[in-house]
Amino acid sequence: MGNGTVAVGLQDLVTILGDVRALQDKQEIVRALLNPDEEKGKIVEAVQARYDVTGEQVPEDLIRTAVDRFFEEQYTFKAPETNTLALAYANRGTLFRKIGVPIITVAALLGAGTIAVDYARQQRLLQYEHAVEEQFEAAYTDFTDTLRKKSTVEKSPFVEKLPPPQRKTIDQLLCQTNIDLASAAELLPGFTNKDISVKEAVTLTNATDIESKVKTAVSSVRQADGLMNSALDILGTQNHLEKLAVALDTAYDAVRTAQSPQSLKDRAEQTYQQGRTGIQQRDVTLAEQAEKSLNSLLLTAMQFPAVNSTLQNVYRNITSIAKEQAVRDQAQSWYEAAQQELNGADLAAAKGDVQRLHDLYTTLNQEYTLTIVSRPGERSGTKRIPNDHPSKTNFYLVVEAVYRGNALSLPITSEESGRTETVTMWAERVPEDVFERVASDKKDDGIIQKSTFGVKKRG
The per-residue pLDDT for range 64-86, each reduced to its tens digit, is: 776 676 566 555 544 545 454 44
The mean-pLDDT minimum among 8-22, 34-48, 68-82, 142-156 falls in 8-22
**Crossing angle, helix 207-257 and helix 164-187, to 10 degrees?**
160
Dist. CA 324–CA 138, nearest whole Å: 90
Dist. CA 448–CA 84, nearest whole Å: 151
Determine the pLDDT at residue 318. 87
Determine the pLDDT at residue 96. 44
Question: Average pLDDT in the 179-192 region?
Answer: 77
Q: What is the pLDDT of residues 359-374, one digit of tens each?
A: 888 888 777 788 877 7
Question: Average pLDDT in the 216-232 region?
Answer: 92
Residue 13: band (very low, low, confident or very high) from pLDDT cuts 50, 70, 90: very low
Helix (H) and strand (E) counts for the chain? 14, 8
Q: What is the pLDDT of residues 390-429, one digit of tens each?
A: 778 888 888 888 877 788 777 788 777 778 888 888 888 8
Which has more confidence, 305 or 82? 305
* Maximum CA extent, the chain: 173
Question: Average pLDDT in the 195-204 region?
Answer: 66
β-bridge partners, 454 = 370
Phi, psi of 67 (to 5 degrees): -65, -40
Global pTM exceeds 0.85: no
Dist. CA 96–CA 100, nearest whole Å: 4
Between strands 368-372 and 394-403, the pairing is antiparallel
Segment holding 216, helix H or strand E = helix 207-257
The SS3 assignment for 453 reads strand
Average pLDDT of the chain, as a whole number: 77
Residue 445 predicted with pLDDT over 60: yes
Q: What is the pLDDT of residues 309-325, one digit of tens each?
A: 899 999 998 888 888 88
Which has more confidence, 457 or 105? 457
Determine the pLDDT at residue 187. 77
Residue 278 predicted with pLDDT over 80: yes
Determine the pLDDT at residue 437. 82
Determine the pLDDT at residue 225. 93
Top-confidence range, 225-229, 326-330, 354-358: 225-229
